[in-house]
Amino acid sequence: MFQSRRRWNPQVQGMAMVTIRTERDGDAEGVRVVVAAAFPSDAEARLVDALRRGGRLVVSLVAVDGDRIVGYVAFSPVRTATGATGVGLAPVAVAASHRRRGIGAALIEAGLEACREAGYEWAVVLGDPAYYGRFGFAAATASGLRDEYGGGAAFQVMALVQGGVPVDGGLVRYAPEFGEV
């Protein structure tokens, strides 16, 4: 089971005990419910199911309040045109009842740490630069990287280790399951 070396205070803004752990057998339905409810369609939930079936969930963490899954984050492999392998963060979701309490941020931080511990040197995300910038993500174009979805400024990269970001790696491709949903 994943255990971050960094301690996270589970007492977030007056909440009961929320813990972050690696997804286990039997968690898939709870993950599906949280992810489907967090987005306008069930595409992201179907993506997670497809990544799980394909064995491509490099890191898959849940936030649990009691016995209820209230948050989720996934990381899957990505590869540059030059062959460098990293991880892509997608999706991250938190149940509406538990938002704005730091759970999403805690999931992301724990997931990034788990990716470091697994030996990955860089990560990408396609999302709001103002939100993901606080974790250390920056415009991927500055490193000569671009995504296959035309994300522009929303496509960001961060080093998980010093000097980990591939420079001038070109097109970054996500796992094939991303193209299926």
Higher pLDDT, 34 or 2: 34
Mean pLDDT over all residues of the chain?
A: 92
pLDDT on residue 16: 61
Average pLDDT over residues 8-23: 68
Give domain status of residue 9, yes or no. no
Q: Is the pLDDT of residue 168 over 80?
A: yes
pLDDT on residue 59: 98
Give domain status of residue 3, yes or no. no
Instruction: Determine contact, residues 126/154, Cβ cutoff 8 Å.
Output: yes
* Domain CATH for 50: 3.40.630.30
Give domain status of residue 68, yes or no. yes
Q: Is the pLDDT of residue 8 over 80?
A: no
Residues of the chain with pLDDT > 70, as a percent, come to 91
Give domain status of residue 144, yes or no. yes
Q: What is the C-alpha separation between 95 and 89, in angstroms, rounded?
A: 18
Give domain status of residue 5, yes or no. no
Q: Which residue has the tokens 């420079």?
A: 167
Q: Tell me which residue of 14, 15, 2 sits closest to 66, measured CA to CA.
A: 15
Task: Quote the domain boundaries for residue 128.
Answer: 18-180
Say how many domains are in the chain.
Answer: 1
Calculate Rg over the CA atoms of the chain.
16
Q: Is the pLDDT of residue 3 over 90?
A: no
Give domain status of residue 95, yes or no. yes
Give domain status of residue 36, yes or no. yes
Residues of the chain with pLDDT > 90, as a percent, come to 90
| Residues in the chain, overall count | 181
Q: Is the pLDDT of residue 82 over 80?
A: yes
pLDDT on residue 17: 82
